[in-house]
Amino acid sequence: QNHSETVCLSVVLLLSVVCLGVSSQPITDSQRLFSIAVNRVTHLHLLAQRLFSDFESSLQTEEQRQLNKVFLQDFCNSDYIISPIDKHETQRSSVLKLLSISYRLVESWEFPSRSLSGGSSLRNQISPRLSELKTGILLLIRANQDEAENYPDSDALQHAPYGNYYQSLGGNESLRQTYELLACFKKDMHKVETYLTVAKCRLSPEANCTL
The region that residue 170 occupies, defined by phi over 0 for left and psi between -120 and 50 for alpha, beta otherwise, is: beta
Q: What is the CATH number of domain 28-145+176-210?
A: 1.20.1250.10
Question: Under a CB-based contact definition with an 8 Å cutoff, are residues 177 and 165 in contact?
Answer: yes
User: How many CA atoms lie less than 13 Å away from 76 in the CB half-sphere?
Assistant: 20
Model pTM?
Answer: 0.74
* pLDDT tens digit sequence for 55-68: 888 888 888 788 87
Per-residue model confidence (pLDDT) at position 121 = 73
Q: Measure the CA–CA gap between 101 and 179, rounded to whole angstroms.
A: 24
Higher pLDDT, 12 or 116: 116
With b for 16 or more beta-carbon neighbours within 10 A and e for fewer, the 81-113 pattern comes to bebbeeeeebeebebbbbbbbbbbbbbbbbbbb
* pLDDT tens digit sequence for 132-157: 999 999 999 998 876 544 445 444 34
Q: Measure the CA–CA gap between 113 and 107, rounded to whole angstroms.
A: 10
Q: Measure the CA–CA gap between 103 and 135, rounded to whole angstroms.
A: 9
Question: Under a CB-based contact definition with an 8 Å cutoff, are residues 154 and 141 in contact?
Answer: no
Domain residue limits, the chain: 28-145+176-210
With b for 16 or more beta-carbon neighbours within 10 A and e for fewer, the 13-40 pattern comes to eeeeeeebbbeeeeeeeebebbbebbeb
pLDDT value at 164 more than 70:
no
pLDDT value at 97 more than 80:
yes
Q: What angle do CA 157, 110, 132 make, to 5 degrees?
A: 100
CA-wise closest residue to 133 among 69, 54, 56, 47: 47
Higher pLDDT, 149 or 99: 99
Per-residue model confidence (pLDDT) at position 205 = 62
